[in-house]
Amino acid sequence: MSALELTAAILAAAGRGRRLGTVPKALLPFAGRTLLEHTLAAVLEPDEIHAGVVVVPGEHLAAARELAVRHPKVTAVLPGGEERQDSVAAGLAAVGDAVWVVVHDAARPLVSAGLVRRVLEAARETGAATAALPARDTVKLVGAGMVTETLDRERIWLAQTPQAFRRALLRDAHERARREGLRATDDATLVEAVGAPVRVVPGDPLNFKVTTAEDLALAEVLVRERAGAGERRTGIGYDVHRLVPGRRLILGGVEIPSALGLAGHSDADAVLHAVMDALLGAAGLPDIGQLFPPTDERFRGADSSGLLRAVVNHLRQVGYAPVNIDVVILAEAPLLAPYIPAMRERLAGVLAVEAGDVGLKATTAEGLGAIGRGEGIAAQAVATVRRITG
Ligand code: MG
C-alpha cells in the first residue's frame, strides 16, 4: 500500500430522511453536534484519508457547508442530486487527483477508523471493497404475503458503507450506469455491473444505518457510551471494627491466627469493606451500608469475599470495571506482613485484576489512640475504576 497515493472520502449526506421529520437527516442534532459533523469526523479520522468531500441537500447547502468546513480535511461541500447515486457522482467529480475514494453514508455515525482502514486496504489490493455483514436471520423471498423461496443464508451478506474504490474504476462505473440508465442503492453494485471484482470486508453490527427515530436514539446512546469508554474515576473507602475475644480474625479475605477477632454483623473484614466502599464510591454508587444493610439477616456472618464479588458484578452492570486499588491497614497487632501476599492474591482474584494492581500494606498507629491501644483494626482504601462498554 502506498501512503503517497491521495485518498479522499465522499460523505453521502443528501438523504432527506423523511421518516425522521422535516429536517434533513444529516442536520439532525446528534450527541451535542449534528449527525453530519459526527459521521464526518469519524470517517475522516484515519491518517490514510487525506481529504473529504461532502454532498448535502441543495436547499440546506449553506447551513451544511458552515458545519462541514470546520473539519480541516474537508475540501468541498456540494449540493446532492435526486438520488444517492447522483450525489456520489457529484462528489466523485470533486475529489480532484485522488487515486482512491472511500464512500460513506452520513447515516452511519458509528463507523470506526479501523473499519475504514480495513476496507481501504482491501480495495488497494483488488480495486474495490465493501464492508458487509453475514446474514444472521434466515432470508426468504416473499410475494403476496407468501414465501416463494428460502435463500441459502451462508451466501447472504448485507452491504454497508464504507466502500472503497480506485477512483478511475468508480468513475467509469458511474459513467456507464448513467449511460445505460442503471440505478443502484450502493456504489459496489455499479462496479459489479462493469464486471470488476469487489472484495467483502467483515463490517460492524454497530455501523448500522440510522433510518428511524429509534435508530437515532440508539446510535446517540452508543456514541455517548463510546465517548465515555475508558474514562477513569477514583473512590475512597474507610472501615474500622472492634477487636473482641471469641471471633475469627479475617482481613483481606484471609484468616489470620489471633486471640482476638473483629466484631461485626458480617465477618467484619475491615479491609474488604474499605475496598468495597472505595469501588462503589468510584462508580458513584451508594455505600455498602445501603447495599448490604447490617439489619438484613442475610448478611449475618457473611463472607465479605462474596460481598466484594457482588460489588464487582454490580459495578459491571452499571458499566465500570476495577483498574487498581491501594489499601492501608492500621493495626497494632498481630503482625500482618506474613499474610499480605495471600491477601493481595485473594483481592486480585475477586477483582479480576493482576496482583500488581493491588497495593496493600499494614502499619501500626504507634500506640496512639484506640487503634494504637489495640482496641480495633481500621483500613483505608482507594480504588480506580474504568468505564467499560456493554
Ligand atoms: Mg465494616
Which tens digits make up the pLDDT trace of 163-203? 999 999 999 999 999 999 999 999 999 999 999 999 999 99
Distance 154 CA to ligand 1 centre (A): 57
C-alpha cell at 317: 452492570
pTM of this structure: 0.63
Distance 378 CA to ligand 1 centre (A): 9
* Reported confidence tier of residue 389, pLDDT bands at 50, 70, 90: low
- pLDDT tops 60 at residue 2: no
Phi–psi pair at 68, nearest 5 degrees: -70, -35
User: 51-56 and 7-12: which strand pairing?
Assistant: parallel
Distance 289 CA to ligand 1 centre (A): 8
Distance 301 CA to ligand 1 centre (A): 12
Please give the single-letter amino acid code of residue 289. Answer: G
Could you give the CA distance from residue 385 to residue 284 in angstroms, rounded to a whole number?
11
**Cβ count near 235 (within 10 Å):** 22
Distance 351 CA to ligand 1 centre (A): 18
Distance 330 CA to ligand 1 centre (A): 14
Distance 273 CA to ligand 1 centre (A): 5
- DSSP string spanning 273-296? HHHHHHHHHHTT---HHHHS-TT-
Distance 386 CA to ligand 1 centre (A): 25
Radius of gyration of the chain (CA): 30
Task: With both helix axes pointing from N to C terminus, report the angle between 270-282 and 304-317 in degrees, rounded to the nearest 10.
Answer: 10
> Which of 38-52, 215-229, 375-389 comes out lowest in average pLDDT?
215-229
Q: Is 263 exposed, middle or buried (0-12, 13-18, 19+ CB in 10 A)?
A: middle
Could you give the CA distance from residue 325 to residue 243 in angstroms, rounded to a whole number?
25
C-alpha cell at 334: 498481630
**Cβ count near 121 (within 10 Å):** 15
Q: What digits encode the pLDDT tens for the residues 254-270?
A: 999 999 999 999 999 99
Q: What digits encode the pLDDT tens for the residues 257-315?
A: 999 999 999 999 999 999 999 999 999 999 999 999 888 888 888 899 999 999 999 99
DSSP structure class, residue 203 = -
